[in-house]
Amino acid sequence: MSKDNCWILSDNLIGHEKQSISLAEKLNINYKIIKTKKLNFFERNLIDFFNLKKTSFFKEPWPKYIISCGKNTAYYSKLIKKKTDQRIFSIFIQKPPINIKNFDVVVVPKHDNCKGENIIETNGSLTKINLKYINNIKKSKKNNLSKKKFITVLIGGNSRHHKITKKILEKIVDKLNQIQNIYKINVLMLFSRRTESNDILFLKKNLSHTNFTFIEPNSNKISYLDAIAFAKAIIVTSDSVSMVTEACSSGKPVYIIDIPTKSKKFSLFIKNLINLHLAHYLRNSISLKKNDNVLNDIDMVVSKIKKKLIIK
């Protein structure tokens, strides 16, 4: 695809922005990130009457493409497309809060159950991580990490749909101690920004073996991508769609620590990955053999978008 101009509409959430950037880079288009203002109820319903030229962040020349992710950006995308006489190819990631006909393409996870001619279904969130990306990291970095045999454990945190309790932490400690005793392998544990400080302290205290290394958020010790690229296997908590997706896209054996949830969407997301043999629930043992089934949503999405552009 040619290096055409693209606007990424951002709602200032890192996870949403990462998906949009990953797609733009895979489509090989130049992009500009535009931070949008959060809209209230009245603004969302009156957006058709906004004067686009008087907004502080939307200025001509208009782009050829718009990529947006997150409910708030859907309204801005609709406005721009309408005010520019539909000349822009609009891509929305996730299930939009407005009619899908406002977009040329909607990229949505299967668990959102969104149907339509312009829908492209994925099994997870969009990520630049795939086998090729992982192999490029391994080729470009010959460091001490590449010489070590270890598994990576990704710990998330509390959210609207998940609560990491002491019982769950005790289960994590028990399972990891069993695995470490069986395989005598190094364990690299990374915490997310959502991980409670008390939970970090509990895990550190109860996994105080020399074979365990703990990486806290914003640490420069080991990067997140290196921890995934060089791992023999990945264990990940089920509370983060992006973390689970990135693990399943790496080509590594993936084991999920199930955090109970009342969200049907989260449950369907995890069950679908299990059914596709992209991941397994964490039991008392793991395999260090490469996974034959690897998630690669983004290449599939790019291929389908390019076909739609040719037809259009």
**Is 161 exposed, middle or buried, given 0-12, 13-18 or 19+ CB atoms closer than 10 A?**
middle
Q: Which pLDDT value is given to residue 2?
A: 55
Give CA–CA dist 78/44, Å, rounded.
Answer: 11
pLDDT at position 200 is: 96
Q: State the span(s) of the chain assigned CATH 3.40.50.2000.
A: 131-281
Token couple for 152: 């990576």
Residues 6+ apart with CB under 8 A from 110: 121, 122, 123, 268, 269, 272
139-197 pLDDT per residue, tens: 887 666 767 889 999 999 999 999 999 999 999 999 999 998 888 899 999 999 999 99
Comparing C-alpha atoms, which of 1, 127, 5, 154 is closest to residue 69?
127
What is d(CA 27, CA 103) in angstroms, rounded to the nearest whole number? 17
What is the predicted pLDDT for the residue at 82? 82
Q: State the CB neighbour count (10 A cutoff) for residue 101.
A: 12
- DSSP H or E segment with residue 290: none
Low-confidence ranges of the chain (pLDDT < 50): none
Neighbours of 106 (CB within 10 A): 23
Please tell me the CATH superfamily of domain 131-281, with its number. Glycogen Phosphorylase B; (3.40.50.2000)
Residue listed under structure tokens 């043999």: 277
- Rounded to whole angstroms, how far apart are CA atoms 164 and 216? 17
The per-residue pLDDT for 252 is: 96
pLDDT recorded at residue 209: 76
Q: Are 31 and 58 in contact (CB under 8 A)?
A: no
Q: From 295, 290, 275, 273, select the one nearest 232 (Cα to Cα).
A: 290
- Show the tokens assigned to 217: 């958020």
Residue the block writes with tokens 């609207």: 160
- Please tell me the predicted confidence (pLDDT) of residue 51: 59
For residue 3, the model assigns a pLDDT of: 62
On the question of a cis peptide bond just before residue 61, with omega within 30 degrees of 0, the verdict is yes
* 3 state SS of 91: strand
With tokens 């703990």, the residue in question is 214
Let me know how many helices (H) and strands (E) the chain has, helices first.
11, 12
> Helix 241-248 vs helix 264-275: angle between axes, to the nearest 10 degrees?
10
What pLDDT does 139 receive?
86
Q: Quote the pLDDT of residue 305.
A: 97
Domain 5-126+298-311 bears CATH identifier 1.10.1060? no
- CA 38 to each of CA 10, 12, 225: distance values in angstroms, whole numbers, following the listed order: 10, 9, 31
pLDDT tens readout for residues 98-111: 999 999 999 999 99
